Amino acid sequence: MNVLVFNSGSSSLKYQLIDTASKKVILKGEVDRIGTPAKDAPRDHSVAMSMVFEKLGTQKVDAIGHRVVHGGPNFSSATLVTAETLKQVESISHLAPLHNPAAMLGVRACRDLMPKIPNVMVFDTAFHATMPEKAYLYALPLEDCKKHNIRRYGAHGTSHDYVSQKVAEMCKKPREKLKIIVCHIGNGASVCAIDKGKSVETSMGLTPLEGLVMGTRSGDIDPAAVEYLAKAHNFTLPQTITYLNKQCGLLGLTGKTSDFRDLLAMYDKGDQTVATAFDVFFHRIVKYIGAYVAVMNGVDVIAFTAGIGNNIPALRQAVIDRLGFLGIKIDPKRNAFHNCNSVTGEITGKGSRARIFAIKTEEELSIATQVEKILSVKC
Ligand code: AMP
């Protein structure tokens, strides 16, 4: 089956056409600067989609898969798009304000442009539907949690699912027999504890703002600081949340950029502000890994993935070095090899009590496989 996978950002649209039988990418690309004043920029997602369909030419497309960050309380697996499911997902866009609205624009554009092709939504929250109550409940009045669906949902589920399956395969063990911690460290970042094949804890919460320090997101913060910030900047509440999503994290701490590679170059030149930001960034990752080892009562595998996790040896070295007390070690030579090219491989140090991996995440392939599965069940 040829599945066209879309990953829509607020101003960009990434796509891959994947043959699920051979797992090969037939075509891939990106349309960016959607809705910006840039020269020749597409006006909106609908125009961007028509550009993609034009590029596809006569290529056969059997189905379309859309990455959707948030599925809210009602969507715990990949779902066929119908007028009803589309409406339901649109009604929870506020739970992932940076991501869901763009994905929904993409789904609508596909239905208009290619009405005969089935569309499937694959949710980043779905993999975490197995989290136990003790992990997903906030300590708010239970009635609030239930009535308003306030709970921890997590995100990056497609990646955590794929990477944990991949490392189990590489360990030649069923995933059900392993305790795995996946660190998805990109511009957005989250850690996930996978015990017996199921997500039991993850660092993102109600929205993808909770947890680790990220490119532009603050991650964990005392909720009382929100009021302080709002007063200090004379912001409304929504403006403060946008600030926490877009102006904080590594960008906020350094006052320079959210791009890790650029920051690394500044760090290498001795920039002290960047060094402090890195300390905060690494510290938070170590804190979560330590907590998840405790939550699972042990760990067999730690895997690093995404732009930073897969390509920056210094990040993995800094994090694993702090886990030495657990008898976990990294092989510095093998670790150094995994830079820049997003390759998959084992980087476990000699005598380590847990195995360490750098894994190239394949979210699009995972989405295409789920789309095929849903449609074969429906047929
Ligand atoms: P992601 O959100 O997964 O695309 O990750 C983006 C982050 O990864 C940025 O901070 C980049 O600087 C960083 N990065 C480091 N090496 C690479 C690479 N080879 N390709 C893409 N992003 C990279």
- Residue ranges covered by each domain of the chain: 2-153, 173-358
pLDDT of residue 372: 96
Q: Mind listing the pLDDT tens digit for each residue in 257-290? A: 999 999 999 999 999 999 999 999 999 999 999 9
| Helix (H) or strand (E) run with residue 113 in it | helix 100-113
* Closest residue CA from atom 4 of ligand 1: 307
CATH code, 2-153 = 3.30.420.40
* Amino acid identity for residue 203 in this structure: S
Contact criterion met (CB below 8 Å) for 219 and 225:
no
Atom 8 of ligand 1 has which residue's CA nearest to it?
307
| Whole-angstrom distance, CA of residue 356 vs CA of residue 134 | 28
Residue numbers annotated as active site: 124
Rounded distance, CA 269 to CA 199, Å?
40
Q: For 112-156, how does the pLDDT look when each residue is reduced to its tens digit (9 = 90+)? A: 999 999 999 999 999 999 999 999 999 999 999 999 999 999 999
Ligand 1 nearest-atom number relative to CA 185: 3
Predicted local confidence at residue 32, as pLDDT: 86
Any residues with CB less than 8 A from the CB of 268 and at least 6 apart, and which?
none
C-alpha angle 151-152-153 in degrees, rounded to nearest 5: 110
Q: Report which secondary-structure segment, H or E, holds 307.
A: helix 306-311
Please check the confidence at residue 100 and state whether its pLDDT lies above 60.
Answer: yes
Q: Which residues line ligand 1 (CB under 6 A)?
A: 186-187, 215, 259-261, 306-308, 311-312, 340
Which phi and psi angles does 264 have, rounded to 5°?
-60, -40
The CATH superfamily label for domain 173-358 reads ATPase, nucleotide binding domain (3.30.420.40)
Which pLDDT band, with edges at 50, 70 and 90, does 98 fall under? confident
**DSSP string over 166-202:** HHHHHHTS-GGG-EEEEEEESSSEEEEEEETTEEEEE
Q: Residue with the nearest Cα to atom 19 of ligand 1?
A: 340
Q: Please report, for residues 186, 244, 250, 312, the alpha-carbon distance to residue 255 in angstroms, rounded to integers and kept in the order given.
A: 19, 14, 8, 21
Q: Has residue 379 got a pLDDT over 60?
A: no
Q: Look at residue 205 and give its three-state secondary structure.
A: coil
Q: Given this chain, do its domains 2-153 and 173-358 carry the same CATH topology?
A: yes
Rounded to the nearest angstrom, the distance between the alpha carbon of 139 and the centre of ligand 1 is 35
DSSP bridge pairs for 191:
183
Q: How far is the CA of 339 from the centre of ligand 1 (A)?
A: 11
CB atoms within 10 A of CB 37: 6
Residue 154, both tokens: 């997590």
Instruction: Compute the distance between CA of residue 152 and CA of residue 189 in angstroms, rounded to an integer.
Output: 15
Query: Tell me, what DSSP letter sits at residue 239?
Result: H
